[in-house]
Structure 1
């Protein structure tokens, strides 16, 4: 199937996203021919746009995006996938704060977004770190991500662990890391530079409500990644993957697999 790309208002090459990275990314999720977590994704889009001080048109309602995805994605036969939507500030003559906003999206068809889609191998990167401020929690232009992706490719890795300036684990390139030890799942705090993730928050809420494990938001030093029994990566961009190896240590994925399976089976 041909990749679906939607552009609002005839995307111009000279726009502020292309020139300055002046944009935000948010994912919408398609499962079994339906948009799931639509409200969570929509409110995250609105929050991300506000943090970047993008003007939010009155037409950008939840119903607007639901109808758009129905007409431009679901009606074309997409059953499972991740919609990567980017909202950006136009390049116009208005003062920056009053510039108009537009968006485009592309669809990556995947397997069930609520299931583990494979294993990934990680390592720690020390040459760079990521900030832990207001914009660190949303998906914006990140030179650190670009550098880290090249580093991972050159070292035959799928992803890397990124630290903040205090040498605490923030996130990976593509998403958040969950560390399971005994009956506790540790997750880096957002104040440490972790992404806000509707997908992860939905999973964590399910685990907590069903008492499958205790959830602890924590400051996590790099060494603790080696102490974990299992590690899960949840990415709004890539989906859910288990971490199979970090350096010389391998990890199981039995318990996280069971939790994710129950999450998928009970998802409404």
Structure 2
């Protein structure tokens, strides 16, 4: 079942119009969420990121779009799909209503919610070998728009295709200043000694929910120091560890970049802290 503007449809009958602005112009946002036993993980953070992104794109936020309303829409959809007692991935898509590119007064929105089961309730460390490379054909623009989860993801898609065609598991993306920004589907963290480094959002990296939670967790420890600073490609092979983060994978350690192989000790330690946050969220 799919939720289209508050109505439930069977997946095969769920259709959006041809003139949908998300399809026609990429005028859309999305939010990917993890739900465990009908509990939305980090819901408040996801909700406010979605609302702030809609405001930034000057979308009209419906009056009923309270946290309680959207939570109810998500949980009703999960129940309709008989996933109440199963970990679930939920995706919320929001696009401006159909209309021409030169009709700025058209700010009302359509929303679509879908869900699918996940294998594990909480975040787990997958220690499978994971090799990455730099994608240098195209660049992410630094700035505020790149921090949003919009439908404009061509650089990420091309980076994913490059990785697949060349036998890598993922690729790192650069901005126009040649700083490392993020993976094709996740944020990046580097570990060197007790310093954990991640790019600032001003470099154009996605304002990830798990990124934010992990930064908060690291700031509360005496063992590690977090630095939000630009990352040069030359730093990658000097790091002790590298890992990616997103709302579905949690933390995924990187095994190899070019001739450099990494440990995953810190990633495992931080995963415990992330799961503790998820349980309390």
Q: TM-score, structure 2 length as denominator?
A: 0.87
Distance 2:110 2:94 in 1: 6
Partner of 2:73: 68
1:134-166 deviations in Å (ceiling 9; x for gaps): 211011112211211211110122211111111
Partner of 1:255: 266
Distance 2:75 2:103 in 1: 35
Contact 2:38 2:75 in 1 (8 A): no
Aligned-residue Cα RMSD (Å) equals 2.1
Match of 2:83 among 77, 80, 93: 77
Contact 1:25 1:139 in 2 (8 A): yes
Partner of 1:138: 148
Is 1:200–2:211 an aligned residue pair? Answer: yes
Alpha-carbon distance, 1:113 to partner: 4.6
Is 1:55–2:60 an aligned residue pair? Answer: yes
Distance 1:112 1:186 in 2: 28
Alpha-carbon distance, 1:85 to partner: 1.2
Alpha-carbon distance, 1:47 to partner: 0.9
Alpha-carbon distance, 1:74 to partner: 4.8
Is 1:97–2:105 an aligned residue pair? Answer: yes
Distance 1:113 1:97, change over 3 A: farther
Q: TM-score, structure 1 length as denominator?
A: 0.91
Match of 2:125 among 116, 120, 125: 116
Distance 2:146 2:254 in 1: 23
Is 1:25–2:11 an aligned residue pair? Answer: no
Match of 1:35 among 40, 44, 67: 40
Partner of 2:10: none
Match of 1:107 among 115, 135, 148: 115
Contact 2:213 2:274 in 1 (8 A): no
Contact 1:212 1:259 in 2 (8 A): no
Contact 1:87 1:104 in 2 (8 A): yes
Partner of 2:11: none
Contact 2:21 2:95 in 1 (8 A): yes
Distance 1:208 1:108, change over 3 A: farther
Partner of 1:228: 239
1:215-261 deviations in Å (ceiling 9; x for gaps): 10011101111111111101235543111111222211122112212
Distance 1:108 1:59 in 2: 25
Structure 2: give runs of 5+ residues left out of the alignment: 8-14
Distance 1:211 1:32, change over 3 A: farther
Contact 1:29 1:113 in 2 (8 A): no
Contact 1:24 1:52 in 2 (8 A): no
